[in-house]
Amino acid sequence: MSKIYDALVRAARHNDLQTAAPQSSVEPKAAPLNFSSRDSGREWKIIGTCATIMLVFGFLLIVIANQLLGRALRSEMDQRALAIATNLSAAATGPVMGNNILELYALLTRYAQLEGVAYAFIEDASGKIVGHSIRPYPPELTATLTRDEQKQFGMRVVTLQGKTVFETRTPILEGQLGTAHLGIWAENVKTEIDAARLPFVGLTAFVLLVAVALSIFLVRVMIAPIGRRINVAMERTGELKPPVENRVGT
């Protein structure tokens, strides 16, 4: 009876070993897979953080550069308007001195036909309008200038026909003969500035996207070897430490 009992015990132990063997073969493989999933999630968190930081700083850079470019373009257009008004005052010197009204009106009409120009008119030293390109002459354009103001360059913003106009004035013969006024439509100024800024903003945004894509690629290239080394180390650790069932069964 004792021999039969010993045989049954050995058979039971053999069945337990066979049952524990598949479990030991599965569990070491599951651990690297779980770690690989966690490692991939950590990798994408790092990539997302880097991409977000680059996008935020890039967006701020685009906004700042856009503002600076807009101011530079506006300053350039003001200088161009000043140059046109200066040429007008120089050309109007002869007609004003000779009291040649026809020549003066022809001159003002020619300047008013320039692109973006709303009007042009001449004010003499006493403040009287001696010539203008817009008919009838709108009273809202009349401005009372002192003798000192007539001798200086200046700018103002007026409203004409419900639209905004940037007006530039220049003295004629140092203000002794009056002042030349030239109005530029504000809408035309805005259109030209936007047309000049749009290619710059588009190019900057494209470069930013390329830089973000390149940074994502570089981060993945740098992180991938580290993740592989950690996975290999975990796999080796799983092979060196047999399951608890095997140690108990033996």
Residue 187 maps to which CATH number? 3.30.450.20
Least reliable range by pLDDT among 29-33, 61-65, 207-211, 243-247 = 29-33
What pLDDT does residue 18 have? 55
Taking Cα atoms as reference points, which of 141, 167, 165, 135 lies closest to residue 154?
A: 167
Query: How does the average pLDDT of the chain come out, rounded?
Result: 77
In a domain, 20, yes or no: no
pLDDT of residue 25: 45
Q: Is position 231 within any domain?
A: no
Residue 183 pairs with which residues in a beta bridge? 119, 167
Residue 12 lies in a domain: no
Model confidence pLDDT, tens digit, residues 115-173: 999 999 998 888 888 999 988 888 888 776 777 777 788 889 998 888 999 999 999 98
3-state secondary structure of 162: coil
> By C-alpha distance, which of 192, 182, 179, 163 is closest to 74?
192
- Euclidean distance between the first and final Cα of the chain, in Å? 26
User: Is residue 103 in some structural domain?
Assistant: yes
SS3 118: strand
157 within some domain? yes
Q: Residue 149 belongs to what domain range?
A: 63-195
Which tokens hold the place of 54?
């680059």
Q: How many CB atoms lie within 10 A of CB 180?
A: 29
Report how many domains make up the chain. 1
The pTM for the full model equals 0.64
To the nearest whole percent, how much of the chain has pLDDT over 70?
A: 70
131 located within any domain: yes
Residue 32 belongs to a domain = no
Residue at 7: amino acid letter: A
Residue 14 lies in a domain: no
Q: Is residue 103 a contact partner of residue 88, using CB atoms and an 8 Å limit?
A: no
Kindly indicate the confidence band of residue 235, based on its pLDDT and cuts at 50, 70 and 90.
low
